[in-house]
Structure 1
Amino acid sequence: MPVTIALAGNPNSGKTTMFNALTGSSQRVGNWPGVTVDKKEGRLKKYKDVTIIDLPGIYSLSPYTLEEVISRDYLVNEKPDVIINIVDGSNIERNLYLTTQILDVGIPVVIALNMIDIVNKSGDIIDIKKLSETLGCPVIETSAQKGTGLEVLTKKAIELAKAGKKGTFKRQFSKPVELALSNIAELIKNNVPDENLRWYSIKFFERDEKVLERITLSDVIKGKIEQIILACEEELDDNSASIIASESYEYISDVVRSYVKKSHSGTTLSDKIDSVVTSRWLGLPIFAAIMFLVYYVSVSTVGSYVTDFTNDMFVGEWIQAPLANWLTSIGTAEWMIGLIVDGIVGGLGAIIGFLPQMLILFFFLAILEDSGYMARIAFLMDRIFRKIGLSGKSFIPLLIGTGCGVPGIMATRTIEQQNDRRMTIMTTTFMPCGAKLPLIALISSAVFGGTWWVAPSAYFLGIGAVVISGIILKKTKLFMGESSPFVIELPAYHIPMAGNVIRSMFERGSSFVKKAFTVYTLASILVWFGASFGFVNGTFGLVDNLNNSVLHNIGNSLALIFAPLGFGRWETTVASIMGLAAKEQVVGVFGVLTSIGNEDLTLEMVDSANVGGLSPIAALFSSEIAAYSFLIFNLLCAPCFAAMNTIRTEMNNWKWTVFAIGYECIFAYVIALIFYQLGTFFSGGSFTAGTAVAFILLAVLLFMLFRPAPKQHDIEKSDSNLSATAGVSE
């Protein structure tokens, strides 16, 4: 008999670690029906007929965030055979709120009392037997990180699923509430499933909008239900939702006092560490130092050595040269050799060569995430973000965006306030994702000789762009309003699990490799074709001079746009434009052009590279200031096509999408222009028209940053204006 097990729990309760431990490599990642939030599904090890569904991490089954709606709809409508509710034993009181809601649904439940190793180490004692009797379901001690209790847990879950044995849990509310629930149940019993009657009664009492929309009742019954609720609210002098929440927490507090014995009330090791790393004065410097070290090691030192070997020896000496010789020996046409060696291998090799640096970066980020430190950073950044009009919830998408902008944009769905969510979508791709790392590494090594500050500065450039944009946008009528409240669990610090770290590192790396052999291959072929073919004397064909190529003509016609930024050459123009398809392709363009140039096709940048010992890439820029301006623009401008499409999906309105992408491009252009023009002027350059424009733009930027925010009463007026001008669909 096939069995479906749903995993449900709070964020940072160890749910993902447990899902990985239970399913191993037999996982599939898709989307929930109708939405783009990740749906993880896997087969239980040693059980071909047992499917495990990993629900989004949530704090409750209330319909406030998309994750909560998804989890609740799945449990109520899809009805899995059994639910494994992961409860963080070291933070049991907070976690049991979700547990009580899950038990109300009426599906068999097994509680995985997770992180039991931490509980035991702290000396706390939890009476498992009495807790199980009170909650009316099995409670199994587990440690997902160490694999403790997982076999017992899954056997119990399968046993309950096959027996169809529901729990006996029924928390008792106060008499007025119980009377109200009983009366509501009597009115709706013919309209809802029997097994969910208690849950629906509570949701009707809370005036849950999603439930009210789904269940069809006559106006007479709706009126009677409202009278029942109003009478209870009047008697208890509170609104119905608050009554349920407060009485639920009272019940949970009684349970914890009865069955959980704390060994001491003093501070734990995690508390002591947090007193330093989340302190008002030391928190941010420590975070900056850690991220500086991560990028320094990943890009400038260890990663640089490995990448240099990969690019120079593995790709150049071991693949390109032998492949070119072999193709020549078998009589392959010259254009085919160029396509394979220069176009495909040269383009892909330039990108894949940076994979070692990416893996090292992903390795460090996975350690920080699995240890519990990144949760503290979200808490820490809430202080800063709240001052600029955002909340700590906005940092979660930014954090995810350091791996890939697409899931980072999708993660904004946890933000309730529509204005905050839109602003976060617009700024998430400012963060240097994995796709931008090859570009950072290329400029750092080829132009700056691996200078220590270049790679880390790219990370903080992204954060700075988010902060500046947040301040500016929040002061506009389009984005005014109160920020979303921010709640996050701070799990106890623990040593990262090797399996989780390696899995996270290779999951991120594998998506990069898959794109390399699809999107990047096609893009590299197009670049090679454009660089190798052109019109000479009215005839189209292979050219022996890049100045006659199609690519040169296209780039040259657009190069004037980027001249004020310091990189108005056709090569850098083409690279920037191709970067809109995929940011890694900026490196791919240089890889193809360099490969062709090495065959003496009179590539100007290679010829000029012989002067002063410059690398071919460095020769494209008039100065290091121009090179860093190029880096600024390509890091901050519109993201890749995949991320743009995700912005369109999440905005759900093409005008908002155009506005978001347009803002990113304009912001990137302005910042790069200010940096190049003023940097050149203050380093000894002459005062030009570009310098004057840069000073004006800087003044406007400073005015936007420090001007007072519009008065709050203008918000309503702005909402109507926005709807009229942008056609916003909520």
Structure 2
Amino acid sequence: MSASAKEHLFALAGNPNCGKTTLFNAITGARQHVGNYPGITVEKKEGLCSLDGRTLRLVDLPGTYSLTAYSLEELVARDFLVHERPEVVINIVDASNLERNLYLTVQLLELGVPVVMALNMVDVAESRGIRIHCDELSRRLGIPVVPTVARRGEGKEALLRAAVDVAESGRRWEPLRLSYGADIDPALQDMERLIVEKGLLTDLYPARWTALKILEEDEQVLGKAREADPALTDELLAQAAKVTQHIQKTLDSYPEAIIADHRYGYISGLLREGIVEQRWRGDRLHLSDQIDRVLTNRFFGPLIMLAILYGVYQITFTYSEVPVGWFEAAFAALGSWAESVLPEGPVRSLVVSGIIDGVGGVVGFVPLIFLMFLAIAFLEDTGYLARAAYMLDRVFRVFGLHGNSFMAFIISGGIAGGCAVPGVMATRTLRSSRERLATLLTAPFMNCGAKVPVLAMLIAAFFTENRAQMMFLLTMLAWVFALVLAKIIRSTILRGPSTPFLLELPPYRIPTFKGLMIHTWERIWQYISKAGTIILAISILLWALMTFPGLPEEKRAAFEEKRQEILNALPEGVRTSLEASETPETSDPVVVQAAAALSDLSRQEATEALKHSFAGRMGTGLEIFSRWCGFDWRTNVALVGGFAAKEVIISTLGTAYSLGDVEADESLSLSQRLQKDPHWNPLTAFAAMVFIMLYSPCFVTVTCIVKESGSWKWGLFSMAFNTVVAFLFATAIYQGGRLLGL
């Protein structure tokens, strides 16, 4: 293969908040693929770019502070390096926090991988009076060091060229050998010699690195070693135990701590002279610190956070109103066109009621979802959401949760518009199993992107004048419900102490337009693709359940007999027009009354057919419970469909009211149809919104809860517990409102 046609595999590794994903987006742009690593739910991002005719495949590894495999992210990053053997690892380092970031660099070098360093955020370092001499740092580490500013795309081409040069130089894996002191080095040498002699895992890891992992009691490496050579592993563990006992007696410490100390000692010596130039010193507060004095203030911080949240909703609803109207009009026109070209029958019903009215109701809210996701991406990229987690840690501890639970709640829809699936997966950062379970069980109470269109549709129908205020209220209620129920869970089935909260606050940054668009598009595409696959399939299934088996012949004959009675009382010309479903142009009260009677009869027949369908029977059967909440059988059918995916609630309501509605004006939106329905009013709508917020997570989220908790019992518990809670609160709201005369 010629050099110009060659493909290179590079991996991007770095600490959280070092700008790794920003650099990845700047390099790959839209040429990305997001999936999961095989067998686990950690996200895997791959992207492509071209350089001088070469194709570069980049893998964005999970952000991690080390390769110790204490967390799933660390394990995933390490396994990818070992098993996939990327030609170069591009190590993104925060120039403003160089010493801390270099710990991962040292571990990469100890593993032996070819490394190119991207010294990122040099602009932030400069603003803090820090200047780093890249050439000298490169000489001392023995690797290329390229300064970059990821958010502006600066330095990315030079970085890629450096990586290609290393890849095409044919450099082999050459582990960095550090000294770990007189207590560890001799034992390490003996263990390394035995590993080389017996060839223990030498096809995967450098021998010295394997010895280090055995000293550090790395469970994964120990498991592989024991599987390959149990006898040798026992011998190595015996040597490690001697070292551990000696260190405990003499230094009151453990090998892992001594090894970490010597790594930091190596980094400190590396940076001692000629690398970092501090151009001014003193008590000067950096800009981020000055901003934090206000935004994280104990009194003003929470108030500002609520104001920001309210502002997000005000902007979202104000500026999405017109484009949402365009989408609704477009789908209404598409439905009318389909009715005009398709002959009456099951096919037309499927296309108009099952597909267009079903999927259209979901897709119609894309402008609103876009603005919501854009606002969340902005808050994430600026670094503000990390501050919100810091401020709320004190609150979360009161309810038995951890400050890091905040991010799981936010990702699940804490600012409305997230998704409970990645929110549940985000609980991996919690070390306490009890806090983790309590968080993943309550995160689905947040208003995810699937719930937002349903809530927005009901708000548009019954709370038109106060849309932003109502969404803000529902968000606050979601947080209150989640925290109170978390406290109940932590005080009963998941008792235990809270763990300390540690969080690095990244510096404030101005997001780039490109980065915001990429982050927003990723989420929007998930929403649209879901509407085009899962929701389309469920809409068609529910249309079938709401269409068949149809009215029994005797009932159909009874309706036809009544129709003929009305028609027979009219003059022949008028009768012919009405039989053809045409409205005669006359003001004759007899004719107008007959036309109204026929329209009412057709509506009764359509409603009766819908009620007699499989779905209608199921919804009617559930009315024994749902009537306490004010829900009729059509709403019940939609809520049952919501167990599959919450967006289906809109499509099912759209289908149900389309099948049971034969008014002349077919262009009415679902919101307008609900406004006109006697079963719906503001009290019913509010009870329904609370129920939708709280009841069982969608099936995909339940599956994720099962995977993350390791047991089906927690998935089933989530479905049952959430639905019971939703029923109790919706009933209390509806019955309480009726008692108050609302």
TM-score of the aligned structures, taking structure 1 as reference length = 0.86
1:433-479 deviation digits (Å, cap 9, x = unpaired): 11111111111110111413111222222222221122111112x31
Does residue 521 of structure 1 match 2:536? yes
Deviation at residue 200 of structure 1 after TM alignment: 2.0
Does residue 184 of structure 1 match 2:191? yes
Q: Determine which of 466, 471, 483 is the counterpart of 2:482.
A: 466
Q: Determine which of 477, 495, 501 is the counterpart of 1:480.
A: 495
Structure 2 Cα separation of the partners of residues 167 and 143 of structure 1: 29
Please state whether the residue corresponding to 2:721 is helix, strand or coil: helix
- Answer whether contact 1:110 1:139 (CA < 8 A) is retained: yes
* Residue type of the alignment partner of 1:367: F
* Residue type of the alignment partner of 1:495: I
Shift in CA distance, 496/623, structure 1 to aligned 2, threshold 3 Å: same
Residue 587 of structure 2 corresponds to: none
Deviation at residue 193 of structure 1 after TM alignment: 2.3
Please state whether the residue corresponding to 2:386 is helix, strand or coil: helix
Please state whether the residue corresponding to 1:145 is helix, strand or coil: helix
Does residue 138 of structure 1 match 2:154? no
- Answer whether contact 1:546 1:601 (CA < 8 A) is retained: no
Q: Determine which of 644, 664, 682 is the counterpart of 1:581.
A: 644
Does residue 158 of structure 1 match 2:167? no
Unaligned runs of 5+ in 1: 686-730
Please state whether the residue corresponding to 2:89 is helix, strand or coil: strand
Shift in CA distance, 254/376, structure 1 to aligned 2, threshold 3 Å: farther
Residue 558 of structure 1 corresponds to: 622
Shift in CA distance, 618/598, structure 1 to aligned 2, threshold 3 Å: closer
Does residue 288 of structure 1 match 2:309? no
Residue 634 of structure 1 corresponds to: 692
Q: Determine which of 229, 232, 237 is the counterpart of 1:222.
A: 237
* Residue type of the alignment partner of 2:651: G
Shift in CA distance, 578/63, structure 1 to aligned 2, threshold 3 Å: same
Structure 1 Cα separation of the partners of residues 543 and 403 of structure 2: 45
Structure 1 Cα separation of the partners of residues 542 and 652 of structure 2: 6
Deviation at residue 365 of structure 1 after TM alignment: 0.8
Residue 708 of structure 2 corresponds to: 650
* Residue type of the alignment partner of 1:202: L
1:137-173 deviation digits (Å, cap 9, x = unpaired): 2211111111111111111112222324356744443
Residue 306 of structure 1 corresponds to: 323
Deviation at residue 591 of structure 1 after TM alignment: 1.7
Residue 694 of structure 1 corresponds to: none
- Answer whether contact 2:90 2:118 (CA < 8 A) is retained: yes
Deviation at residue 273 of structure 1 after TM alignment: 0.8
Shift in CA distance, 665/643, structure 1 to aligned 2, threshold 3 Å: same
Structure 2 Cα separation of the partners of residues 646 and 341 of structure 1: 34
Deviation at residue 497 of structure 1 after TM alignment: 0.9
Q: Determine which of 469, 477, 485 is the counterpart of 1:453.
A: 469
Does residue 6 of structure 1 match 2:11? yes
- Answer whether contact 2:408 2:426 (CA < 8 A) is retained: yes
Residue 193 of structure 1 corresponds to: 202
Shift in CA distance, 136/384, structure 1 to aligned 2, threshold 3 Å: farther
Please state whether the residue corresponding to 2:505 is helix, strand or coil: coil
Percent of residue pairs identical: 36
* Residue type of the alignment partner of 1:383: R
Q: Determine which of 350, 357, 365 is the counterpart of 2:368.
A: 357
Does residue 26 of structure 1 match 2:35? no
Please state whether the residue corresponding to 1:488 is helix, strand or coil: coil
- Answer whether contact 1:105 1:198 (CA < 8 A) is retained: no
Residue 129 of structure 1 corresponds to: 135
Q: CA RMSD in A?
A: 2.6
Does residue 495 of structure 1 match 2:558? no
- Answer whether contact 1:546 1:552 (CA < 8 A) is retained: no
Shift in CA distance, 371/314, structure 1 to aligned 2, threshold 3 Å: same
Mark the structure with the bigger radius of gyration: 2
108-117 vs 174-183, greater mean Cα deviation: 174-183
Residue 347 of structure 1 corresponds to: 358
Please state whether the residue corresponding to 1:3 is helix, strand or coil: strand
For residues 244-393 of structure 1, what are the structure 2 equivalents within 5 Å?
244-258=259-273, 259-262=275-278, 263-265=280-282, 266-299=284-317, 301-311=318-328, 313-316=329-332, 318-327=333-342, 332-393=343-404
For residues 52-63 of structure 1, what are the structure 2 equivalents within 5 Å?
52-63=58-69
1:382-407 deviation digits (Å, cap 9, x = unpaired): 22222222212222222222222222
Shift in CA distance, 677/261, structure 1 to aligned 2, threshold 3 Å: farther
- Answer whether contact 2:113 2:175 (CA < 8 A) is retained: no
Structure 2 Cα separation of the partners of residues 617 and 200 of structure 1: 69
1:167-197 deviation digits (Å, cap 9, x = unpaired): 6744443333333433332333332428623
238-247 vs 102-111, greater mean Cα deviation: 238-247
Q: Determine which of 21, 24, 36 is the counterpart of 1:16.
A: 21
For residues 604-643 of structure 1, what are the structure 2 equivalents within 5 Å?
616-617=674-675, 619=677, 621=679, 623-643=681-701
Q: Determine which of 163, 174, 199 is the counterpart of 2:181.
A: 174
Structure 2 Cα separation of the partners of residues 535 and 74 of structure 1: 60
Deviation at residue 230 of structure 1 after TM alignment: 2.3
- Answer whether contact 2:607 2:661 (CA < 8 A) is retained: no
Shift in CA distance, 386/96, structure 1 to aligned 2, threshold 3 Å: farther
Residue 721 of structure 2 corresponds to: 663
1:241-277 deviation digits (Å, cap 9, x = unpaired): 2222233334434444543233334111111111111
Please state whether the residue corresponding to 1:45 is helix, strand or coil: strand
538-547 vs 630-639, greater mean Cα deviation: 538-547
Structure 2 Cα separation of the partners of residues 333 and 678 of structure 1: 46
- Answer whether contact 1:5 1:52 (CA < 8 A) is retained: yes
Aligned residues, how many? Answer: 668
Structure 2 Cα separation of the partners of residues 621 and 98 of structure 1: 62
Shift in CA distance, 671/164, structure 1 to aligned 2, threshold 3 Å: farther
- Answer whether contact 1:109 1:167 (CA < 8 A) is retained: no
1:389-427 deviation digits (Å, cap 9, x = unpaired): 221222222222222222222222222222222222211
- Answer whether contact 1:430 1:466 (CA < 8 A) is retained: yes
* Residue type of the alignment partner of 1:21: A
372-381 vs 107-116, greater mean Cα deviation: 372-381
Residue 111 of structure 1 corresponds to: 117
Structure 1 Cα separation of the partners of residues 484 and 116 of structure 2: 47
Please state whether the residue corresponding to 2:44 is helix, strand or coil: strand
Shift in CA distance, 381/431, structure 1 to aligned 2, threshold 3 Å: same
Structure 2 Cα separation of the partners of residues 535 and 334 of structure 1: 14
Does residue 437 of structure 1 match 2:467? no
Structure 2 Cα separation of the partners of residues 420 and 44 of structure 1: 41
Shift in CA distance, 601/484, structure 1 to aligned 2, threshold 3 Å: farther
- Answer whether contact 1:544 1:601 (CA < 8 A) is retained: no
Please state whether the residue corresponding to 2:497 is helix, strand or coil: coil
Please state whether the residue corresponding to 1:280 is helix, strand or coil: coil
- Answer whether contact 1:426 1:661 (CA < 8 A) is retained: no
- Answer whether contact 1:296 1:455 (CA < 8 A) is retained: no
Residue 691 of structure 1 corresponds to: none
Structure 2 Cα separation of the partners of residues 307 and 622 of structure 1: 23
Shift in CA distance, 493/540, structure 1 to aligned 2, threshold 3 Å: farther
- Answer whether contact 2:702 2:718 (CA < 8 A) is retained: no
- Answer whether contact 1:180 1:232 (CA < 8 A) is retained: no
Structure 1 Cα separation of the partners of residues 510 and 147 of structure 2: 20
Deviation at residue 652 of structure 1 after TM alignment: 2.4
Structure 1 Cα separation of the partners of residues 316 and 487 of structure 2: 31
